[in-house]
C-alpha cells in the first residue's frame, strides 16, 4: 500500500527491483519501519543513505543510544502542567539540540535554564527579523527585558512558525518566569537587558568590519549567555563561585559556539544578505565577501575559511579550563556536549570548499557518537584530541595561517594528551570476539563425530566449506585472544593531568 511509503525518500535505496512477492513484503516492512521510526523522531534511516550506515557500522549503537536520550525530552514535557508543557514543547521546536541537554538537567536548574533560553530566543527573533524596520527593532530590543515582568504581555509581527508562536504566546513564558525563585529572575532579567542593548547597538550595522567588532558582537549574542548560565549554576548551588568570578571563561564558552555557527552558516547568511565574517579577515583574500564563492578564488577562499576557523580555535583552551572546573554531572553534560559538537563541526568545515555553497553539518552518526561518548572529562578530552588530529591532518602546507593553527592545535592536544589512553579501547571488540569464539566452539563441538575411536572436529572425510571456515575462524580468534585481549587491562603510564 501507498500508506507506508508516504514519508520514505526512495532515493535512499536507489533503484529497487522486486523479483518476488516475498521481496516485496520485506521491502514494504522495511519502509514501514522507517515511517514509524521517523514518526517517533528517530529519522536517521529516513535521511541517511544506507551506504552511510554500512560504511560506519560502529555508529549504529551510538545512534540507538542517542535516540534514547532524545526521546526522553518529549516524555518529560508531557509530564508537566499546561504552562510548562508549552515552554518545554517550544524548547523542543526552536532548538532540538539544546532541548535535549536542558531537559536532562535537575528539575530546578532545568526550569530556570529553559525560561532563560526561551526569553533570549524570543529576543533574538525580534533582533533577527529584517522584515521589520531597524528603527522599531532597535527600540523593541532595548525595551524587551521590561516585559518579562508584565503578566499577560505578548508580541506580534515578528518571526516565523515556532518563533512567531512563541512571541504571540509570550505571556505563558512570563507566567513561568514569575514562578521561578527571585534569584533566578534577577539573572535572566539582567542578561536580557544587556543582550537587548548590545543587539540594538549592532542592528543597523551592514557588516562586521574589525575582529574586535566580531568579538563584541559574539559577546553580546552568546558571551552574555555564558555569563548568565554560569550565574544560574552558581545560584542553584550546583557549582562554585569561581564560575561567576572568572567571566572571561564563560564568555569564551559562548563566543566559541557563536563563531562556529557564523563560519558554518556563511552561504545561508550571504543568501539572506547578512554578513558576520569580519572584513579585517576576508579582505586579505578577496575584494568582496561574495567572491569567496567563486571557483576561480578557491585557494584564497579556503585560506580565508581556515583563518576564521583558527580564530575560533583560540577560545578552546578557555573552554577546556571552564569545563575542568565543573563538579555537577548534569551541568557538565549540558556544557560539554555543545562544545564537543562545536569543535567537531570545525573539524568538518576546515579546508572544506562546500562551506561556501551549503550548510555543512556533521553526519548524524558522528553527532550521535560525540553526544553519547561525552560522559566525563577524560572522554571529552579524548574527543577533543581526535578532532584536533583531524584538523591538523587537513592543514595545507602553504596555508597562510599554517603556523598559527599548528601552535593552537598543539597547545590543545598537549592539554588533552594525559587523558588519552596509551592503548586503544578494545572493550567492545573483545566482547564481540568472545561471543564469536563461543559460537565457533559450539559449532565445532556440535559437528564433530567419532571415527575409529578418535574424536575429530568434523564428521569424517574431507571437511566441507563451512567446517573449514569454522576451523579457520577458531584459530584466528584464539590468535587474537592471546595477542590482544589483555590490552584492555593495561593501565596508562601517563601522569595525571594537572589543573589548567
- In the set 217, 285, 332, 437, the catalytic residue is 217
> Cell 594537572 maps to which residue?
498
Alpha-helix residue ranges (DSSP H) falling in 203-315: 211-218, 224-235, 242-245, 247-264, 266-271, 279-282, 298-313
- In the set 144, 334, 356, 385, the catalytic residue is 334
> For residue 190, what are the contacts with CB-CB under 8 A and spacing of at least 6?
228
Q: Which residues of 346-365 are buried (b: 16+ CB within 10 A; e: fewer)?
A: bbbbbbbeebbeeebebebb
Q: Is 274 a catalytic residue?
A: yes
Q: Is 264 a catalytic residue?
A: yes
**Cell numbers linked to 171:** 505571556
> Cell 526561551 maps to which residue?
118
| Residues paired with 449 in a beta bridge | 456
- In the set 110, 121, 238, 264, the catalytic residue is 264
**Cell numbers linked to 176:** 513561568
- Report CA 401 to chain centroid distance, whole Å: 26
CB-neighbour burial class of residue 17 (10 A; exposed 0-12, middle 13-18, buried 19+): exposed
CB-neighbour burial class of residue 432 (10 A; exposed 0-12, middle 13-18, buried 19+): exposed
- In the set 38, 274, 325, 363, the catalytic residue is 274
Report the SS3 class of residue 144: helix
Q: Is 494 a catalytic residue?
A: no
Active site residues: 217, 264, 274, 334
Amino acid at each position: 500500500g501507498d500508506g507506508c511509503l508516504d514519508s520514505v525518500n526512495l532515493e535512499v535505496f536507489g533503484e529497487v527491483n522486486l523479483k518476488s512477492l516475498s521481496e516485496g513484503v520485506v521491502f514494504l516492512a522495511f519502509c514501514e519501519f522507517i515511517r514509524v521510526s521517523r514518526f517517533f523522531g528517530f529519522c536517521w534511516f529516513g535521511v541517511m543513505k544506507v551506504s552511510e550506515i554500512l560504511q560506519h557500522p560502529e555508529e549504529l549503537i551510538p545512534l540507538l543510544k542517542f535516540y534514547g536520550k532524545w526521546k526522553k525530552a518529549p516524555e518529560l514535557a508531557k509530564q508537566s502542567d499546561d504552562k510548562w508543557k508549552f515552554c518545554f514543547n517550544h524548547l523542543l521546536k526552536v532548538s532540538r539540540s539544546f532541548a535535549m541537554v536542558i531537559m536532562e538537567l535537575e528539575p530546578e536548574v532545568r526550569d530556570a535554564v529553559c525560561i532563560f533560553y526561551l526569553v533570549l530566543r524570543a529576543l533574538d527573533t525580534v533582533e533577527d527579523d529584517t522584515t521589520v524596520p531597524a528603527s522599531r527593532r532597535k527600540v523593541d530590543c532595548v525595551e524587551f527585558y521590561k516585559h518579562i515582568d508584565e503578566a499577560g504581555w505578548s508580541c506580534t509581527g515578528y518571526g516565523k512558525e515556532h518563533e512567531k508562536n512563541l512571541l504571540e504566546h509570550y505571556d505563558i513564558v512570563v507566567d513561568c518566569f514569575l514562578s521561578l525563585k527571585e534569584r533566578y529572575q534577577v539573572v535572566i532579567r539582567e542578561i536580557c537587558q544587556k543582550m537587548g542593548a548590545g543587539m540594538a547597538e549592532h542592528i543597523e550595522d551592514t557588516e562586521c568590519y574589525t575582529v574586535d567588532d566580531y568579538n563584541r558582537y559574539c559577546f553580546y549574542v552568546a558571551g552574555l549567555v555564558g555569563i548568565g548560565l554560569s550565574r544560574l549554576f552558581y545560584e542553584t548551588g550546583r557549582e562554585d563561585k569561581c564560575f561567576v568570578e572568572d567571566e572571561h571563561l564563560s564568555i569564551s564558552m559562548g563566543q566559541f559556539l557563536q563563531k562556529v555557527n557564523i563560519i558554518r552558516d556563511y552561504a545561508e547568511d550571504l543568501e539572506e544578505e547578512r554578513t558576520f565574517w569580519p572584513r579585517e579577515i576576508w579582505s586579505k583574500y578577496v575584494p568582496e565577501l561574495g567572491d569567496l564563492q567563486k571557483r576561480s578564488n578557491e585557494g584564497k577562499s579556503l585560506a580565508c575559511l581556515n583563518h576564521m576557523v583558527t580564530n575560533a580555535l583560540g577560545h578552546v583552551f578557555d573552554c577546556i579550563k571552564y569545563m575542568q572546573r565543573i563538579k555537577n554531572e548534569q551541568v557538565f553534560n549540558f556544557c560539554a556536549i555543545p562544545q564537543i559538537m562545536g569543535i567537531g563541526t570545525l573539524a568538518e568545515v576546515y579546508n572544506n570548499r562546500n562551506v561556501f555553497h551549503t550548510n555543512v553539518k556533521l553526519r548524524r552518526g558522528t553527532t550521535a557518537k560525540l553526544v553519547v561518548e561525552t560522559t566525563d572529562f577524560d572522554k571529552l578530552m579524548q574527543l577533543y584530541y581526535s578532532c584536533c588530529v583531524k584538523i591538523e591532518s587537513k592543514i595545507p602546507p602553504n596555508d597562510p595561517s599554517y603556523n598559527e593553527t599548528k601552535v593552537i592545535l598543539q597547545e590543545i592536544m598537549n592539554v588533552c594528551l594525559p587523558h588519552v589512553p596509551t592503548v586503544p579501547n578494545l572493550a567492545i571488540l573483545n566482547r564481540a570476539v568472545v561471543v564469536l569464539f563461543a559460537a565457533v566452539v559450539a559449532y565445532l563441538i556440535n559437528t564433530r563425530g567419532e571415527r575409529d575411536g578418535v574424536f575429530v572436529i568434523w564428521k569424517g572425510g574431507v571437511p566441507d566449506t563451512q567446517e573449514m571456515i569454522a576451523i579457520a575462524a577458531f584459530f584466528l580468534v584464539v590468535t587474537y585472544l592471546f595477542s590482544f585481549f589483555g590490552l584492555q587491562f593495561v593501565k596508562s603510564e601517563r601522569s595525571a593531568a594537572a589543573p589548567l
